[in-house]
Structure 1
Amino acid sequence: MTDALTVSETAHEPFASLAELRAQGPVHRIDTPDGPPAWLVTRYAEVRALFGDSRFALHREHSHGRDFTGFDLPPQLDAHLLNSDPPRHTRLRREIAPSFTAQRVRAMSPQVRAVADELAASLSGEVDLVGEFAVLLPVRVIAELLPLPADARDTFAGWADSLLRHTPGAEPRARDTMDDMRRIIGSALSSDPPADSLLAGLLTARGAGRLDADELTSMVFYLLFVWYEIMVHAVSSAMLRLLGSERLDTGVEEVLRLHPPQLLAAPRYPLHDLEIGGVSVRAGDTLLLSLASANRDERVFSEPSEFVPDRNPNPHLSLGHGTHACPASTLTRVIARCAVEALHAQHPHAAPTSAPVTWRGNFRHHGPAALRANLTRHKR
């Protein structure tokens, strides 16, 4: 059994430990921070292949129950894309896909930029760009995208603040805020959204029988809460690396590769006994795909531990791959770019201070906990 991956190794500085495992082989038996074991897949080729391998399932009903399976949500919140296999996965994705085409999301860029400009203009003095900007921007964008009614927006903002504006290690886990999540979702589902909105489309799908009650609630949970922390970490890392850069397109991709906002993809469960990377795994075992390790695989990326803002091509896996690519991948990229552009426009000489960067995260997520900058002398 490989030494346990501790919370400090996984959340704050996972890359050295992952490099050692990757050098030893592509698949390792590990102890997770929560206790149960799992298989950790560390090399790019195997991680990428597993995204589309039909021999593995996402739904935890295929687990034998002895390995790590993640946080068990109530059924009303668990019927979402990250716990679904075809044909349900295909059906659920079809309901939200039209709202997240690259063309439609790019058309939203002026709206996202306007929100980012407003938040950036409100900053002055010495600020924490994570707590005072990155935590707030995705809240506003997601709330307008769905959209959330006004009362739920305030509760959503409070939820985000309680989750991420804390000293690393002292913040509550998302699972500890379940009551707030239920209130926000209930308010959304009882609202009267605009006819052409994403939420209205989901309510229509429920009325037409294309979604059942649990799927509807779970999809709203997925849209609001599963993406939020990913977007905050993507924005924070982009500000750390790209303020003042002219290479934003390739730069954002390199930020996502080097600082993946999610360290692991959703667990996979073999449907049959099989071999992967020369290792025998049993039906029902848990496989964890290490996006953080795959993105620094020396077999694919030159200078894998260096930030190369014009790296091209850059086939990182931070936002998934193939049919399991994150539906919000384009939106995440747009938010990260708009954040950097807005801060540079409002504070053209802004840059992070020389204070060491501390990192926030858990077993699954990773991003700067704080990013100090002094804006007073340079504000237009």
Structure 2
Amino acid sequence: MDLADDLITDPYGGYEVLRSTSPVHRIQGPDGQPAWIVTRYEDVRAWLADPRLSLDKKHAREGNYHGLQLPPALDANLLNMDPPDHTRLRRLVGKAFTPGRVEQLRASIRATADRLLDVLGEEGSADLIAAYAAPLPITVICELLGVPGERRGDFRGWTQALIAPDPNEPTAAKEAVVAMLQFFGHLVAHKRQSPEDDLLSDLIAVRDAEDDRLSEDELMSLVFLILFAGFENTVQLIGNAVWALVQHPEQLAALRKDPSKIPAAVEELSRYEGPALLAIRRFPVEDITIGGVTVPAGETVLLSLSSANRDPNRFIDPDRLDIERDAGGHLALGHGIHYCLGAPLARTETEIALRALLERFTHLEADGDAPNWRRSLRARGLKELPVRYRACLSA
């Protein structure tokens, strides 16, 4: 069944059809290769945490969709690993993303948000992705890693080329990979020569002091994953959240009236319009049965986070945005040992971004009705978000 294009064009409508007919479907991936897609909440949540689904490509069978293909220097990351290597690497980098460490960044994140909003002025129109949702997380993650400010603008183009490649630019993805390899190589060499008080310097120190704990490819791949996922997921989370709110002015008004609801609203917004349509592809290490369907060992399994989050058997009236809803248990940021490492940071940035935006602008609306979603089977994000705003109702 060739559903990939339909799921890109109308993911929630497409997944509703799939959920209602069978818990598992055979589809063609974006590269034309087959995969199994799992759509119901109960199955998705269970298999996200089941060790019989491996992230390691050594278990993959040829002739199936394998997802993004990267060179070894970028591919030795947590999204391609099972325990014990996954456990080892996650422990090394996890301390930087604990709720306590993230809380220490709150003042800096708010200051960055305020600076970006200052540029917008008191009244006007802007693309909120380019002006706010993208520069906020890239500034935060680059400061955390120690990436020089003058290079931060490159990442949006690189990640765009990998996640949602333009068919009119067939070499863009390969060029982005080459550029990232060169950049990360120079950055690691610089930090090794002149270490600073940042996460990358700390990771290099671990690599150099205890060589058996972190290989050079693992070091480069960790830097890539932290920048790539830490930036992209949060851009989409902020942008999607603002889009959902301006499309539901009664929900936006409720947040203005009671900003204490913002943290809970971020959970509902994540459920309703999360940054990932699919979890990273997985490969059964043995024949498995999902919802009565047998999936052979080695064939690609795609677990649909967005479909699970709209499953009416888990969430009442799931296609309705309701910031009063208890959205606990949503799968927007995963589940199990591969739960999003940067989830505390993504949540905090989105909460601060929304709070600063609503405090600054008492009027905010979409500038146009048609959202410009990126064409991606895996990531759910806007290319741009044109808005009109003003700082006071009487302006």
| TM-score above 0.5, yes or no | yes
How big is the shift at 1:156?
Answer: 3.0
Match of 2:112 in 1: 115
Match of 1:307 in 2: 321
How big is the shift at 1:51?
Answer: 1.5
1:44 paired residue among 41, 45, 57: 41
Q: Distance in 2 between matches of 1:350 and 1:322?
A: 37
Matched, 1:226 2:223: no
How big is the shift at 1:105?
Answer: 0.8
Which stretch has the larger CA shift, 296-305 or 368-377? Answer: 368-377
How big is the shift at 1:183?
Answer: 3.0
In structure 1, the residue corresponding to 2:365 is in which secondary structure? coil
Match of 1:74 in 2: 71
Matched, 1:141 2:140: yes
**Structure-2 change in CA distance of 1:352 and 1:169 (3 Å):** farther
Contact 1:130 1:236 in 2 (8 A): yes
Contact 1:11 1:365 in 2 (8 A): no
How big is the shift at 1:154?
Answer: 2.4
Contact 2:311 2:318 in 1 (8 A): yes
Which stretch has the larger CA shift, 361-370 or 227-236? Answer: 361-370
Match of 1:24 in 2: 21
Matched, 1:341 2:343: no
Q: Distance in 2 between matches of 1:361 and 1:162?
A: 15
Contact 2:207 2:219 in 1 (8 A): yes
Q: Distance in 2 between matches of 1:296 and 1:134?
A: 24
Contact 2:284 2:296 in 1 (8 A): yes
1:276-295, Cα deviation, whole Å (9 max, x unpaired): 21011111111000111111
Equivalences for 1:179-258 in 2 at 5 Å? 179-192=178-191, 196-207=197-208, 208-209=210-211, 210-242=213-245, 245=255, 246=259, 247-258=261-272
Superposed CA RMSD in Å reads: 2.2
- Where does structure 2 lack aligned partners over 5 or more consecutive residues? 246-251
In structure 1, the residue corresponding to 2:314 is in which secondary structure? coil
How big is the shift at 1:375?
Answer: 3.0
How big is the shift at 1:179?
Answer: 2.4
Matched, 1:85 2:86: no
The percentage of aligned residue pairs carrying the same residue is 38
Q: Distance in 1 between matches of 2:43 and 2:177?
A: 35
Q: Distance in 1 between matches of 2:8 and 2:70?
A: 22
How big is the shift at 1:267?
Answer: 1.0
How big is the shift at 1:357?
Answer: 2.3
Contact 1:348 1:378 in 2 (8 A): yes
1:43-62, Cα deviation, whole Å (9 max, x unpaired): 11111111111112101110
Match of 2:365 in 1: 351
In structure 1, the residue corresponding to 2:243 is in which secondary structure? helix
Matched, 1:129 2:128: yes
1:55-91, Cα deviation, whole Å (9 max, x unpaired): 1210111011121011221111111000001100000
Contact 2:127 2:387 in 1 (8 A): yes
1:182-231, Cα deviation, whole Å (9 max, x unpaired): 23312321233665521122101211121011111110111111332211
1:285 paired residue among 282, 294, 299: 299
TM (normalized to structure 2)?
A: 0.88
Contact 1:12 1:360 in 2 (8 A): no
Matched, 1:156 2:152: yes
**Structure-2 change in CA distance of 1:365 and 1:250 (3 Å):** same
Match of 1:102 in 2: 99
Which protein has the bigger helix share? Answer: 2
What letter is aligned with 2:106? Answer: S
How big is the shift at 1:325?
Answer: 0.5
Q: Distance in 2 between matches of 1:5 and 1:366?
A: 14
How big is the shift at 1:376?
Answer: 5.1
Q: How many residues align?
A: 372
What letter is aligned with 1:160? Answer: R
What letter is aligned with 2:105? Answer: M
- Where does structure 1 lack aligned partners over 5 or more consecutive residues? none
In structure 2, the residue corresponding to 1:351 is in which secondary structure? strand
How big is the shift at 1:170?
Answer: 4.6
Q: Distance in 2 between matches of 1:118 and 1:164?
A: 25
Match of 1:55 in 2: 52
Match of 2:8 in 1: 11
2:279 paired residue among 257, 265, 285: 265
Contact 1:139 1:228 in 2 (8 A): yes
TM (normalized to structure 1)?
A: 0.91
How big is the shift at 1:356?
Answer: 2.8
Contact 1:135 1:161 in 2 (8 A): no
How big is the shift at 1:377?
Answer: 6.3
Contact 1:147 1:197 in 2 (8 A): yes
Contact 2:26 2:37 in 1 (8 A): yes
Q: Distance in 2 between matches of 1:122 and 1:237?
A: 22
Matched, 1:363 2:377: yes
In structure 2, the residue corresponding to 1:191 is in which secondary structure? helix
How big is the shift at 1:313?
Answer: 4.2
